[in-house]
Amino acid sequence: PWGDVLTIAGTVVVALILFGLTVAAHEFGHFWAARKMGLVVERFAIGFGPKIYGKVVDGVEWQVNLLPLGGFVQLPQMSPAEGIEGKPGEEHKDLPPASPGAKIFTALAGPLASLALGVACAFGVWILGVPTNMTYRTTTIGWVDLHSPADRAGILPGDKILAIDGQRPERWAGRPGAVVESILLGINRDILLELDRDGREIVTVRVVPEPDKELEGLRRLGFEAYPAQSALVDRVIEGGPAARAGIRPGERMVSVDGRKIWNPAAVKAAVESGKDRLEFVVEDGQGNRRTVPLNPEQAINRKDRMIGVVWKPSELQVTRPTPQEQVGSAAGLVFRTLRALVSPASHVGVQHLSGPLGIFERLVSLLQTDPRLVLYFSVILNVNLAVLNLLPIPVLDGGHILFSLVEAVRRRQLRAKTVERIQTAFVILLAGFFLLVTYHDSLRIKRRMDKPAESTEMPVFRPAPEKK
> Do 414 and 403 touch, CB atoms closer than 8 A?
yes
Neighbour-count burial of 438, counting CB atoms closer than 10 A to its CB (0-12 exposed, 13-18 middle, 19+ buried):
middle
CA dist 173 and 225 (Å) reads 10
- At 353-381, the pLDDT tens digits run 998 889 988 988 898 889 999 999 999 99
At residue 216, the pLDDT reads 82
How large a percentage of the chain has pLDDT more than 70? 94
> Do 80 and 420 touch, CB atoms closer than 8 A?
yes
pLDDT band at 215 (very low <50, low <70, confident <90, very high): confident
- At 159-171, the pLDDT tens digits run 999 999 999 999 9
The answer, yes or no, to whether residue 8 has pLDDT greater than 70, is yes
| Average pLDDT value for the chain | 90
Name 248's Cβ contacts closer than 8 Å, sequence gap at least 6.
233, 236, 284
Give whichever of 15-19, 72-76, 331-335 has the largest mean pLDDT: 331-335
The answer, yes or no, to whether residue 85 has pLDDT greater than 70, is no
Q: Read off the pLDDT of each residue in 183-197 and give the average, rounded to a whole number.
A: 94
pLDDT band at 80 (very low <50, low <70, confident <90, very high): low
The answer, yes or no, to whether residue 55 has pLDDT greater than 60, is yes
Q: How far is CA 177 from CA 268, 338, 341, in A?
A: 30, 15, 17
What secondary structure letter does DSSP report for 228? -
- At 378-390, the pLDDT tens digits run 999 999 999 999 9
Q: Read off the pLDDT of each residue in 403-416 and give the average, rounded to a whole number.
A: 88
Q: Read off the pLDDT of each residue in 274-283 and give the average, rounded to a whole number.
A: 94
pTM to 2 decimals?
0.86
pLDDT band at 90 (very low <50, low <70, confident <90, very high): low
The answer, yes or no, to whether residue 83 has pLDDT greater than 80, is no
From the CB of residue 78, how many other CB atoms can be counted at a distance below 10 Å? Answer: 21
pLDDT band at 12 (very low <50, low <70, confident <90, very high): confident
- At 219-228, the pLDDT tens digits run 999 999 999 9
Q: Read off the pLDDT of each residue in 445-451 and give the average, rounded to a whole number.
A: 85
- Residue with more model confidence, 175 or 379: 379
List of E strands, 284-432: 289-294, 297-298, 305-306, 309-311, 316-319
CA dist 376 and 167 (Å) reads 26
Structural domains of the chain in order of their starting residue, each with its CATH number: 2-129+360-450 (no CATH), 132-225+314-319 (2.30.42.10), 231-305 (2.30.42.10)
At residue 92, the pLDDT reads 59
At residue 455, the pLDDT reads 66
